[in-house]
């Protein structure tokens, strides 16, 4: 799959005149289209709802776009709950709270906002009860253990993950919660990350649908919804084809009709909490080449660093790079594209084949719309960059300004800066 920026060089040059690099740029048109495709793919399920994973892109302007497209939010912290509330999601059906090792104050706020609380562990039942009481609608997170594989390169080890309950635990949890007055139950699970396979969601759905039938038949509980969580990924590298959300939706539908409908559970709602799939392709980190170095390797230094995009430094993640205006030139130079941190892993690309890069060239790092800005930090005193929205009409607006040194110093006590 050829990776093309969602802006042209001419567009970007005009944007850079207004907003200095580096900055994260988001494509409103693409975001809306992905949300609409997701809802169309699951339109067979009357109660379907996407709860966008706020941790992926905690930006109010983005959340409001998704709200307009019918999405809710999936939160995992106090501030994500607060952001969802301030963006208008606290209507009793639009917030999912999936957390672990959760402070009491976070459960209290989640319940106050009418969020669906997703319990990560059986011990959290008493903790929640003591903190604020058990709501009548609740969800439990399931971990089947062992290894999960689709017979391809998609494999993960749920048994080594800190999330979720074992099967005996979730049965016991549902028994106890039923005694506590719960009227509606949900099941949630997450088995693999960033799968580029149309088979992942249908396979996960079958596991959860069978579990739901067992729980209903053995405990007499009402399963109102099943949350397939995230895990549907994107092709970061150009050699892979993107997921087909319509094929995925059809695969889940088949499992639903084979497992749930015969069990008299054709009213179960399907929820998702996608982050990467919804936003990653619709974000670019835009940087400028400002230095070149010729030593044992060829280096291109840009005006961003791992503080702007942590994924390559953190776990060697690949982000495709386009040198704007040179898309059709031969990739006959081999570069390490690096940032300014005093860490040798501050590299956006290693031994990457690219066209010749000249100082002042604009570079686009693809697929940064999720887990890009969100994972920023301030090591070396580096400051988070601005976020810019490319609107549907082609205009741009700043949706988060860049940090300033005064922001960096603002939390320091005892010194006059």
Catalytic positions, written as ranges? 342
Q: Is 205 exposed, middle or buried (0-12, 13-18, 19+ CB in 10 A)?
A: buried
Chain centroid to CA 333: 33
Rounded to whole angstroms, how far apart are CA atoms 204 and 191? 8
Dihedral sign from CA coordinates of 110, 112, 114, 117: positive
Are residues 140 and 119 in contact, defined by beta-carbon separation less than 8 angstroms? yes
In terms of Cα–Cα distance, which of 160, 227, 137 is closest to 189? 227
Kindly report the backbone phi and psi dihedral angles of residue 17, in degrees, each rounded to the nearest multiple of 5, phi listed first.
Answer: -60, -30
Pairing relationship of beta strands 137-141 and 184-188 according to DSSP bridges: parallel
H or E stretch including 10? helix 9-18
Q: 3-class DSSP state for residue 331?
A: coil
User: Can you spell out the DSSP letters for 171-208?
Assistant: HHHHHHHHHTT--EEEEE----SSB--TTHHHHHHHHH
Chain centroid to CA 361: 30
In terms of Cα–Cα distance, which of 28, 1, 26, 38 is closest to 370? 26
Rounded to whole angstroms, how far apart are CA atoms 334 and 247? 38
Task: Dig out the tokens for 356 from the structure.
Answer: 């010749």
Rounded to whole angstroms, how far apart are CA atoms 380 and 258? 55
Task: Dig out the tokens for 167 from the structure.
Answer: 């099967």
């Amino acid at each position: 799959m050829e990776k093309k920026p969602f802006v042209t060089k001419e567009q970007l040059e005009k944007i850079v005149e207004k907003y200095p690099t580096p900055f994260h740029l988001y494509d409103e048109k693409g975001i809306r289209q992905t949300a609409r495709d997701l809802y169309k793919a699951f339109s067979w399920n009357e109660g379907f709802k996407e709860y966008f994973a706020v941790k992926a892109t905690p930006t109010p302007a983005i959340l409001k776009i998704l709200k307009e497209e019918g999405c809710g939010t999936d939160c995992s912290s106090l501030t994500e709950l607060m952001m969802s509330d301030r963006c208008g999601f606290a209507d009793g059906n639009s917030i999912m709270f999936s957390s672990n090792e959760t402070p009491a104050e976070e459960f209290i706020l989640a319940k106050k906002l009418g969020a669906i609380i997703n319990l990560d562990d059986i011990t959290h039942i008493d903790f929640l009860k003591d903190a604020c009481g058990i709501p009548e609608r609740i969800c439990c997170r399931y971990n089947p253990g062992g290894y999960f594989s689709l017979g391809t390169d998609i494999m993960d080890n749920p048994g080594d993950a800190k999330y979720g309950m074992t099967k005996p635990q979730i049965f016991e949890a549902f028994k106890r919660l039923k005694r506590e007055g719960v009227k509606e139950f949900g099941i949630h699970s997450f088995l693999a990350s960033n799968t580029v396979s149309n088979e992942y969601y249908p396979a996960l759905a079958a596991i959860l649908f069978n579990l739901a039938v067992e729980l209903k038949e053995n405990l007499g509980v009402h399963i109102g919804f099943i949350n397939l969580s995230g895990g549907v990924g994107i092709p970061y590298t150009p050699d892979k084809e993107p997921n087909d959300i319509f094929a995925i939706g059809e695969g889940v539908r088949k499992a639903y009709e084979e497992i749930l409908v015969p069990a008299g559970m054709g009213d179960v709602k399907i929820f998702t909490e996608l982050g990467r799939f919804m936003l990653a392709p619709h974000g670019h980190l835009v940087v400028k080449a400002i230095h070149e170095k010729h030593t044992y390797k060829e280096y291109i230094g840009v005006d961003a660093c791992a503080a702007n995009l942590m994924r390559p430094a953190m776990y060697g993640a690949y982000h495709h790079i386009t040198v704007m205006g040179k898309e059709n030139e031969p990739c006959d130079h081999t570069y390490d594209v690096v940032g300014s941190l005093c860490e040798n892993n501050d590299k956006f690309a290693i031994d990457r084949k690219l066209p010749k890069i000249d100082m002042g060239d604009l570079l686009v790092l693809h697929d940064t719309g999720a887990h890009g800005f969100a994972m920023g930090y301030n090591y070396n005193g580096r400051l988070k960059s601005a976020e810019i929205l490319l609107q549907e009409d082609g205009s741009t607006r700043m949706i988060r300004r860049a940090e300033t040194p005064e922001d960096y110093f603002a939390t320091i006590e005892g010194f006059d800066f």
